[in-house]
Amino acid sequence: MAEIALKDFNYEAFAKDLASQASQVVPQDIQGADKDFVIDIIYRFCMMAADALVKEENSVLNAQSASLIVQFIGEWIFHKSIDLIRANIEMQYREGILQKVAFTVFEIAKKAVENKMPQDQLISLVEAHVKKCFEKAIEDLKERGILSEEKTKDVMSQSNIDAMAEENVAQKQKAIEEERQKENDIINMPDEKILKLASLAVLIKNFNPEKIKNIISKFQKPEREVLLKYLKMPDLEDKLDVGATMKCLEQMKNTLPENIVISYDKAVKKMCKIVKNSSKDEILNIIKNERPSIQDFVSTCFLKDKTPLPAYVADIVSKYIEENVS
């Protein structure tokens, strides 16, 4: 990607984006004014840092390297503001501590980037200096009598960055276990079922996407995964035995329910039988709020005269009347 000159760095949009990203990942236990504080201070400190970088004369930075520095500031302000909130540090002391953190990250990251330090080394260097700076700021509050020994230990023990790292490890481990279980489900699936799913994939792969999606949704997760795998296989037909595939499709066809042909005459006959064994007033009361076409159809059995109505509708009406007569 081509380098973008520092003067073209749209740092206001970048700062807004960092604050917006932060708002999406603020932990659930941080709400209300505390959450607003986190988002607001990330935006303000990132804006100040970026503005200073852009206005610096004879800078060797470009937009990409400047954005990296600003991003470091945003990330560390995010983590340390949460640590302060969780330790119940009063609002009036938070900004001063975070200002020292932001300045430390700015100075260390800027020099490291200017010297083209590898990013993994840069991350470790900034983290070490942030830890040292943060602990000194807390110790200063303790020496001024603002924080007790217990409160000092509490805030020092907070580490949102470690908590998020542990959570990420747990999520990755969970994903690995789920993937392993998925593989086991597939491995333990009978060959006959796998062949049927592969055959089905051959049959439906050229259907419209919505229809394919609907068919896939009918299967449980292991079968769904196998079916998706075969649908994505471009040369599937060449890998399957034609005879075995046709046999599977024939078996599947035989398990499908037969189409039921609904006869209009049968529906009328059924309706007339219901009318014959029921009170006319009761029948008319059941259909009094129905559409005229429905009323006309039911009246057919009284007038001995057929009224055109789709067969499937006639069948539904007959069943409805049958269920509602006493």
Quick: pLDDT tens for 291-302.
777 777 677 666
Nearest by Cα to 223 from 201, 245, 207: 201
Whether the per-residue pLDDT at 247 is higher than 50: the answer is yes
More confident residue, 303 or 104: 104
Whether the per-residue pLDDT at 38 is higher than 90: the answer is yes
The pLDDT score that the predictor gives to residue 37 is 95
282: three-class secondary structure by DSSP = helix
Please state, as a whole number, how many other Cβ atoms lie within 10 Å of the Cβ of residue 244: 14
Give the max Cα distance, the chain.
Answer: 103
- Provide CB contacts within 8 A for 324, sequence distance 6+: 286
- Provide CB contacts within 8 A for 232, sequence distance 6+: none
CA-CA distance, 100 to 261, in Å (whole number)?
80
Whether the per-residue pLDDT at 2 is higher than 50: the answer is no
The pLDDT score that the predictor gives to residue 130 is 93
% pLDDT > 90, the chain: 37
250 CB-contact burial (10 Å; exposed 0-12 / middle 13-18 / buried 19+): exposed
What is the Cα 276 distance to its own chain's centre? 59
**C-alpha angle 204-205-209 in degrees, rounded to nearest 5:** 90
**Tokens 């909130």 label which residue?**
85
CA 7 to each of CA 10, 66, 71, 109, 158: distance values in angstroms, whole numbers, following the listed order: 8, 11, 18, 19, 39
DSSP annotation of 288: T
For the ranges 28-37, 54-63, 155-164, 202-211, the maximum mean pLDDT occurs at 28-37
For the ranges 20-34, 152-166, 183-197, the maximum mean pLDDT occurs at 20-34
Over residues 265-280, the mean pLDDT reads 73
Nearest by Cα to 142 from 93, 210, 214, 91: 93
Per-residue tokens: 108: 């260390």
More confident residue, 317 or 117: 117
The pLDDT score that the predictor gives to residue 1 is 37
Per-residue tokens: 161: 């960055």
Ramachandran region, residue 120 (left: φ > 0; alpha: ψ -120 to 50; beta: rest) = alpha
The pLDDT score that the predictor gives to residue 20 is 94
